[in-house]
Amino acid sequence: MRNARTERIAVFAFLAIFTAIALFPIVWMLGASFKTDKELLDGSLWSFGSAGISNYVKAFSARPFLRYLLNSLLAAGVSVVITVVLGVLAGYGFAKLRNQYTEIIWIVVLASIMIPIESIVIPLFLQVHAFGWHDTYAGIILPTALNAAGIFILRQAIQSIPNELLEAGRIDGASEFRILRLIVVPLLAPSIVVVSVLTFSLSWNSYLWPLIITSTDSLRTLPLGMAAFQMTLNTKYSEIMAVSTFGTIPMAILFVSLQRYFIDSAIGSGIKG
Amino acid sequence: MVKSRKNWALIFIAPSLLYLALFQLYPVLYAVYISFHKYDLMSPPQFVGISNYIRLASDEQFLRSLWVTAFYVFWTIVPVIGLSFILGGLLSTLNRSRGVWRVLLYLPSILPFVSVALVWKIMFNQRGPINDALNTVGVASIPWLTNSAYAPWALIFMSWWHATSYYTIIFLAGFLTLPRDCFEAARLDGAGLLQTIRHITIPLMKPTIVLVVVLATVNGLKAFVFQQVLTDGGPANATQILTILIYKTAFSYLDMGRASTYSIVLFGGIMALGLIQIWLISGRRDA
């Protein structure tokens, strides 16, 4: 009995140490965003800053961070809609209307999940130029909007829906499209949320592609705006911490409201890589 | 009836197929095409056969970058996998408090990558909190990001912090699917903790372990933001991983042919790992 108890205390102590390490940079970022640069570098970790919200005010007057935020929200929103709509359609086709063609096309989806954007940015750049999409929302958002891993997750979810439910609809003479809309989609809600969270996070972190394809400041997404702000001469560290905190807020809100789905999407993205 | 269902399948799948073909498959073929050319965006592409590939063997920048990448990936995944395995395993033994620990440990993963990079960049500052902590234990300040001996390690330490959080969750999910009775039986047979881990936990967790190894390797190969924001590949190319080299070769030196050749190497490496991963996943789902 005493043994089990010491064991538990040891486990808690171990977890507490690593949790503290995990949280430290986040807490430090938050604290630093309210400090002056002098306070930030004077070695006093736990004192409250005297800068108030002045770092936020200065950062927002130096660069259009609200615009960057809206651009990021637009990109993430469009990606989520495209992935969910196309993913549900394709997922249903792959899961419930299988034939020899869909089996071959499925390989295309699997290949697409693996293809790293980092290795195709050059041809994509040339392609998007040829479309006349350079430095436009279409060019920033559309090439990376469809998250192939979303198709995979939705197919798995649709596969677990019993065929009898679909047959009932077919006997009543419903078209495949009606069956999808009225029977399948309502059952898919949790998976749709997981795919949305996963796609939103991917888009929120998207950096290399928007970096390559934008040159106008007002089209920059938040990560690009943050990085560019950091490279501007005379930018204060505390102001950089203010925008880092600002960039975290939308993810934090999403995490607090959809916590369970976040964890599920982390596990689901195991297939994305 | 069956015929019409076949048509429905193609109608449902067509939008995704077209999308992926246009923005994923075609670019791959296009990248291969460019890799056989000399192309600087100004004059039309000039066919050079496989000479871009032959040059790889003597391309010092590329070989250096390969080494930097391998070093980064290796030192990133090895400690992270061990630590996440332990943390995930410990979390799985808890009951009521598991949810709280899981949320707290997961928090680093919800920070945007650029925020993570910026925080660590300032923490690694000459007068930042990391050097402060070293000073208090009597170690002199380290020029983390400006010295080519330390910069690779700075990025590696940072990746430990960032990646452990994510893989802990994956390992925890794996641990939670393990059958409890195996451990019960081992306990009744009087097996010690280490014996149980070695002979029961690790064999049962093998699919998850391999999955995380593949995932962590692929994610390491695809890293870009941290290197770009913290050091931009420097100092003296000490942190110029493959993705940074591709980016600079293409968009700073406008050498699309060589950059595409590097891309194909990266693509090949990741595809090989991806195939292992798919093989594992399909094996697991069917089981």
Q: What mean pLDDT is predicted for residues A175-193?
A: 92
Give the gap in angstroms from C-alpha A118 to the nearest C-alpha of chain B: 7
Instruction: Give yes or no for a cis peptide into B235 (omega within 30° of 0).
Output: yes
In sequence order, which residues have a C-beta less than 8 Å from that of residue A69 and are 6 or more positions away? A222, A246, A250
pLDDT in tens, chain B (287 residues): 556 777 888 999 999 999 999 999 999 999 999 999 999 988 899 999 999 999 999 999 999 999 999 999 999 999 999 999 999 999 998 888 888 999 999 999 999 999 999 999 999 998 889 999 999 999 999 999 999 999 999 999 999 999 999 999 999 999 988 888 877 788 788 888 888 888 888 888 988 898 899 889 999 999 999 999 999 998 999 999 999 999 999 999 999 999 999 999 999 999 998 787 767 766 654 43
pLDDT for B217 equals 93
pLDDT for A169 equals 86
- CB contact under 8 Å between B17 and A259, yes or no, is no
Q: Give how many domains chain B has, as a whole number.
A: 1
Which residues in chain B are closer than 8 Å to A139, comparing Cβ atoms? none
Q: Locate tokens 């699997």: which residue?
A: A110
Asked if the model's pLDDT at residue A242 lies above 60, the reply is: yes
In sequence order, which residues have a C-beta less than 8 Å from that of residue A3 and are 6 or more positions away? none
Asked if the model's pLDDT at residue A94 lies above 70, the reply is: yes
Residue ranges of domains in chain A: 63-271
Least-confidence region, from A96-100, A239-243, B11-15: A96-100
Tokens of A76: 């993430």
Task: Considering only the beta carbons, identify the residue of A97, A114, A273 that sits closest to B5.
Answer: A97
- CB contact under 8 Å between B121 and A230, yes or no, is yes
Report if residue B157 sits inside a domain.
yes
pLDDT for A19 equals 96
pLDDT for B247 equals 97
Q: Which of A78, A107, A120 to mutate to test the interface with B (most CBs of B within 10 A)?
A: A120
pLDDT for A264 equals 80
Which residues in chain B are closer than 8 Å to A204, comparing Cβ atoms? 112
Distance from C-alpha of A2 to C-alpha of A273, rounded to nearest angstrom: 43
Residue of B nearest to A10 (CA): B90
Task: Considering only the beta carbons, identify the residue of A105, A251, A273 that sits closest to B112.
Answer: A251
pLDDT for B286 equals 45
Residue B124, CA distances (Å) to A33, A41, A46, A143, B128 in order:
17, 11, 18, 35, 6
Report if residue B281 sits inside a domain.
yes
- CB contact under 8 Å between A93 and B8, yes or no, is yes
Distance from C-alpha of A255 to C-alpha of B42, rounded to nearest angstrom: 46
The helix (run of H) or strand (run of E) holding residue B128 is none
Residue of higher predicted confidence among A2 and A222? A222
Give the gap in angstroms from C-alpha B191 to the nearest C-alpha of chain A: 16
The matching CATH number, chosen from 1.10.150.120, 3.40.50.300, 1.10.1670.40, 1.10.3720.10, for A63-271 is 1.10.3720.10
Tell me the angle at which helices A54-62 and A65-96 cross, rounded to the nearest 10 degrees.
Answer: 80
Q: Are B12 and A92 in contact (CB under 8 A)?
A: yes
Query: Which amino acid belongs to residue B73?
Result: V
Does residue B193 belong to the interface with chain A, where contact is any CB pair within 8 Å?
A: no
Q: Which of B19, B42, B85 to mutate to test the interface with A (most CBs of A within 10 A)?
A: B19
> What secondary structure letter does DSSP report for B241?
-
Q: Are B171 and B84 in contact (CB under 8 A)?
A: yes
- CB contact under 8 Å between A212 and B251, yes or no, is yes
Residues 65-104 of chain B whose Cβ lies under 8 A from any Cβ of chain A: 83, 87, 90-91, 93-94, 101-104
- CB contact under 8 Å between A237 and B94, yes or no, is no
Residue of higher predicted confidence among A126 and B96? A126
- CB contact under 8 Å between A205 and B277, yes or no, is no
Give the Cα-Cα-Cα angle B160, B73, B53 (nearest 5 degrees). Answer: 155
Task: Considering only the beta carbons, identify the residue of A93, A127, A156 that sits closest to B27.
Answer: A127
The helix (run of H) or strand (run of E) holding residue A218 is none
Q: Are B269 and B221 in contact (CB under 8 A)?
A: yes
Report if residue B89 sits inside a domain.
yes
In sequence order, which residues have a C-beta less than 8 Å from that of residue B9 and are 6 or more positions away? A93, A97, A98, A99, A101, A102
Task: Considering only the beta carbons, identify the residue of B104, B260, B277 that sits closest to A273.
Answer: B277
Helix (H, G, I), strand (E, B) or coil at A175: coil
Report the candidate in A193, A191, A206, A194 with the shortest Cα–Cα distance to residue A73: A206
**CATH number of the structural domain spanning residue B281:** 1.10.3720.10
- CB contact under 8 Å between A127 and B165, yes or no, is no
Helix (H, G, I), strand (E, B) or coil at B94: coil
- Per-residue pLDDT tens digits for A251-270: 999 999 988 888 888 777 65
DSSP lists the bridge partners of residue B16 as none
Task: Considering only the beta carbons, identify the residue of B90, B219, B278 that sits closest to A14.
Answer: B90
Residues 117-176 of chain B whose Cβ lies under 8 A from any Cβ of chain A: 117-123, 125, 127-129, 132, 135, 161, 164-166, 169-170, 173
Q: What mean pLDDT is predicted for residues A77-103?
A: 94
> Taking CB atoms and an 8 Å cut-off, how many pairs form between chains A and B?
274
Residue of higher predicted confidence among A1 and B167? B167
Q: What is the pTM of this model?
A: 0.92
Q: Are B267 and A119 in contact (CB under 8 A)?
A: yes
Does residue B272 belong to the interface with chain A, where contact is any CB pair within 8 Å?
A: no
- What are the φ and ψ backbone dihedral angles of B240, each rounded to 5 degrees? -80, 80
Give the gap in angstroms from C-alpha A195 to the nearest C-alpha of chain B: 15
Tell me the angle at which helices A2-32 and B60-93 cross, rounded to the nearest 10 degrees.
Answer: 130
Report if residue B100 sits inside a domain.
yes
pLDDT for A91 equals 95
Spell out a b/e string for B236-265, using b for 16 or more CB atoms within 10 Å of the CB, else e: ebbbbbbbbbbbbbbbeeebbbbbbbbbbb
- CB contact under 8 Å between B5 and A41, yes or no, is no
- CB contact under 8 Å between B91 and A263, yes or no, is no
Residue of A nearest to B274 (CA): A114
Q: How many residues does chain B have?
A: 287
pLDDT for A2 equals 59
Which residues in chain A are closer than 8 Å to B279, comparing Cβ atoms? none
Tokens of B274: 């991806």
CB neighbour class for A128 (10 Å; exposed up to 12, middle 13-18, buried from 19) = buried
- CB contact under 8 Å between A118 and B243, yes or no, is yes
pLDDT for B282 equals 67
- CB contact under 8 Å between B263 and A120, yes or no, is yes
Q: Which of B40, B122, B170, B226 to mutate to test the interface with A (most CBs of A within 10 A)?
A: B122
- CB contact under 8 Å between B263 and A223, yes or no, is no
Residue of A nearest to B254 (CA): A122
Domain that holds residue B235: 46-286
- Per-residue pLDDT tens digits for B191-222: 888 888 888 888 889 888 988 998 899 999 99
Report if residue B154 sits inside a domain.
yes
Give the gap in angstroms from C-alpha B12 to the nearest C-alpha of chain A: 5
CB neighbour class for A123 (10 Å; exposed up to 12, middle 13-18, buried from 19) = buried
In 3-state terms chain B splits into helix, strand, coil percentages (rounded to 5) of: 75, 0, 25
pLDDT for A272 equals 43
